């Protein structure tokens, strides 16, 4: 399965440092976005640990799962999503232990969304409110579900999805990697096809864009131009957080 990809990260207009990190491994079709938080320099450290640990674990442990014809399609049991899940757990263990050892880093953690593509499928594992979108036939669909306070309130019927977009507590997440010893990690498997484009991003981007705008900007231009236009629009609308994204296109299944 062949893809082309492009990644960009920007500190934005309001933050002094960039606590986001990203990973693009085109050889494995492995992609990660992590949005760090907490502690003196802790957020940047946590997100860096996440992307490096995930890549290292996958490189060492992938074996032949991507070509196993007997592999289950259950995302909670598939060997690839299980490998991604385990790599995030290992990152969380490392982050938590580093925070225990250093008072300056206590309270650090990171959102993490990791994806591998093979066999006309996207294998995904994630924690927090960084997202993955699929753009197909000029339509945009959010694949991941935010682990956030406002999303919990939407699901409980306390507030509407429209109210959630501008809610004052929209940046409060209910799960992160490394903040606690253990965290629940969600997984999914999504069919993809030639021509599909995917966007992975931190909330510094998604908080400022509507799905229709993502579909429009990502569906009609070269990937690099689309990526820069997405970042520029988020900055134009305030840029009050770090902005990180990976855009990719399926070239051949």
Q: Which of residues 239 and 150 earns the better pLDDT score?
A: 239
Alpha carbon distance 152, 120 (integer Å) = 32
Confidence tier at 188 by pLDDT (50, 70, 90): very high
Residues contacting residue 108 through CB under 8 Å, at least 6 positions apart:
36, 37, 38, 39, 42, 43, 45, 46, 95, 98, 99, 178, 179
Quick one: pLDDT at residue 159?
74
Quick one: pLDDT at residue 220?
78
Quick one: pLDDT at residue 163?
61
Quick one: pLDDT at residue 167?
61
The position carrying tokens 């969304």 is 113
Quick one: pLDDT at residue 52?
98
- From the list 53, 24, 206, 8, the residue with the least C-alpha distance to 115 is 24
Averaged pLDDT for residues 188-213 = 96
Q: What is the mean pLDDT of the chain?
A: 92
Alpha carbon distance 200, 190 (integer Å) = 14
Averaged pLDDT for residues 186-197 = 97
Quick one: pLDDT at residue 72?
81
Token pair for 195: 């021509």
Tens digit of each residue's pLDDT (9 = 90 or more) over 215-242:
999 987 899 999 999 999 999 999 999 9
Residue 21 near residue 50, CB atoms below 8 Å: yes
pLDDT at 56 over 80: yes
Q: How many CB atoms lie within 10 A of CB 73?
A: 9
- At 234, give phi and psi (nearest 5°): -65, -40
pLDDT at 65 over 90: no
Q: Which of residues 80 and 148 earns the better pLDDT score?
A: 80
Assigned CATH for 2-252? 3.60.40.10
- At 3, give phi and psi (nearest 5°): -135, 160
Which pTM value belongs to this model?
0.94
pLDDT at 168 over 80: no
What angle do helix axes 42-61 and 79-101 make, rounded to 10 degrees? 140
Tens digit of each residue's pLDDT (9 = 90 or more) over 116-149:
999 999 999 999 999 999 999 999 999 999 998 7
Averaged pLDDT for residues 175-187 = 96
Percent of residues, the chain, with pLDDT higher than 90: 78
Domain boundaries, the chain: 2-252
Q: Which helix (H) or strand (E) holds 251?
A: strand 243-252
């Amino acid at each position: 399965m062949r893809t082309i990809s492009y990644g960009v990260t920007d500190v934005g207009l309001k933050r002094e440092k960039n606590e986001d990190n990203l990973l693009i491994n085109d050889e494995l079709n492995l992609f990660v976005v992590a949005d760090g938080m907490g502690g003196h320099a802790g957020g940047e450290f946590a997100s860096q640990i996440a992307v490096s640990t995930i890549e290292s674990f996958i490189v060492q442990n992938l074996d032949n799962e991507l070509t196993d014809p007997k592999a289950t399609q259950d995302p909670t049991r598939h060997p690839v999503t299980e490998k991604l899940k385990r790599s995030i757990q290992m990152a969380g263990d490392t982050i938590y232990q580093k925070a225990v050892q250093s008072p300056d880093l206590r309270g650090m953690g990171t959102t993490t969304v990791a994806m591998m593509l093979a066999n006309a499928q996207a294998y995904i594992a994630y924690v927090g409110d960084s997202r993955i979108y699929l753009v197909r036939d000029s339509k945009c669909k959010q694949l991941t579900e935010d682990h956030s306070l406002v999303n919990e309130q939407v699901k409980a019927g306390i507030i509407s999805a429209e109210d959630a977009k501008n809610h004052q507590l929209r940046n409060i997440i209910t799960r992160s990697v490394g903040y606690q010893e253990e965290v629940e990690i969600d997984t999914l498997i999504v069919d993809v096809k030639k021509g599909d484009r995917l966007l992975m991003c931190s909330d510094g981007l998604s908080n400022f864009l509507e799905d229709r705008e993502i579909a429009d900007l990502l569906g009609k231009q070269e990937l690099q131009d689309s990526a820069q236009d997405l970042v520029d629009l988020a900055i134009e609308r305030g840029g009050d957080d770090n902005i990180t994204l990976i855009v990719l296109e399926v070239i051949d299944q």
